[in-house]
Structure 1
């Protein structure tokens, strides 16, 4: 790398080598096969061909049509157009006319016609065409009786020419498609990692900054009358900041797994500093680490919303469930801007939306909405042994709903 961050000459050379990996052969690779017609061309000047001017025009027409068909065969859009089939039909007509009319070296145009068919036709049509060409070439060679090889050899060569050409081109195109697919998968993996980091960064910093703000306000209130209590809040701010640095490093490496008990303890501390009375009641079977981590994210997001939007005086956390499923309910007595109604899935900002998607991929659900009579409630349900959820969502700014 150079000083300005651009790749150096060694890096550029390596990138050029990677871009020079083998791909499908080009149409120029099929042009040397026209040398098979040199025998017919020499006959025009050796008094072995009647009406040499007609033979010369036929040879010119064959070469022109062959080149046109081969070049169109390497462009998928042109290959499948009606013009390509018309040109291929004209090439077949010229081939049959020259082979039947002159025989001898002119019979070698049948393998060239088969090769051209291999660049244009695919599938069942190719098989039928090659079989018909092989049988016809053998029949014409046997009828003429003046070929340079036996009729069955000419028929075999005709069939193999088109079959091998089509197989090589199809395999090469498949390799190129697989290469493009691999590059697309690599881009998707990078994008997926970006979404994971963006989501985790939102969840981490949104909650952490809210706690720091609340504890800073508490320290400012306590400082004039109780410096010791204010210093305790400052120490908590330092601890939260250090923990946030650790969690961000873990989020970058992708190995962060939260603990529900840890998040509940942090929630108590943050709510108490904000003069919100917390209460926690937990029962039920032990939870799998992935289930604990997902419920920890729910606690973190719910507490962030309570601190930012609810103006609540009390917040309750209830964890209970059966041996198969566990339920976490977070309720507060703050204001509810939405009409009193049953909790509705999907209510909330992008934070709750991201959690809804994350829990859904793990076989759970998340509902959030205002409680009848006031306040806000978030309910999360998960299997006790929830599978690891793939990163399929991206969280943006913190939720903007109440509670």
Structure 2
């Protein structure tokens, strides 16, 4: 899992989308070198062609740095690269003017005009479009693209290019640069939406935990608050009766004792209901949750007939394994197998995200080992070859404990 595929699989979904967006615009800048730089060498020869190739390489490098810094700024990791936008504009202007000067020096050569015009047009279009990654809002974006178009028109007119050709060049820069700029704007918006959805999912999970804690606290309050109020009243009555020397005080204290025992039983019931997990419900829930996350899930085996304590322990294993697949991995497939053999129940959970899940070291797995130890069970977790991650829980089971 140390190869490129493992590096990719270890990323979260938003991080994958960010990487895709980042390298898409890096490739857009990098493609300048073979598309126009090498063409300039072929059209202009090793002298002037090499000069334009060097300017193209510098422009591509500055564009790629702008892509990285601009996307980092949109994610709040660094300040807006204002100086870098100025540097990109300067390099774009330098490469464009160099191309126009070359074309003017050899006005009778169609080959020179074609190569120089290609360099000028593409660096202007790419420069205008890449700048959008370091801007926020449609108005600044439109203003920058318009500025590149006007600069292209003005440069052509200053070097004696006819009005018609200058306007066509400016229109080409506006259309091409505007298209790339809109693509950049939409990509940043979509990237923000992906991160927002991921944060919303985490928030929903935290709210679910908080809601469960509130439910547990509410149940305890209902049990303890009511019974403790009765205990306080009964105790106060017993004190008053005892001071008067009346025998009824003993009966009141016996009642207090009974209520205390009843409270203990009710608290144990509340805690037991909170801690126990139904294996059948957890298996069905795992299938539904993973399917909703786009992970193919196959469940084999049934929990019918297993003792309650075994179902509770294995239910927590299914719950924790499902949570790990969703939280830490980017698996595409997950399999759950439950089987009873040789006097024990074996639960196996496998997924193809071995590069994303850490085996054996998490607090969640440590907690599962403690739960299984209470019923004499064991837990094994770790990579199982290739991309497979396997979790195996074994709980001893005698034949007499299985109901018909």
**TMscore range, shorter length:** 0.3 to 0.5
Structure number with bigger Rg:
1
Q: Which of the pair is proportionally richer in helix?
A: 2
Q: Normalization by structure 1: what TM-score?
A: 0.46
The TM-score normalised by the length of structure 2 is 0.46
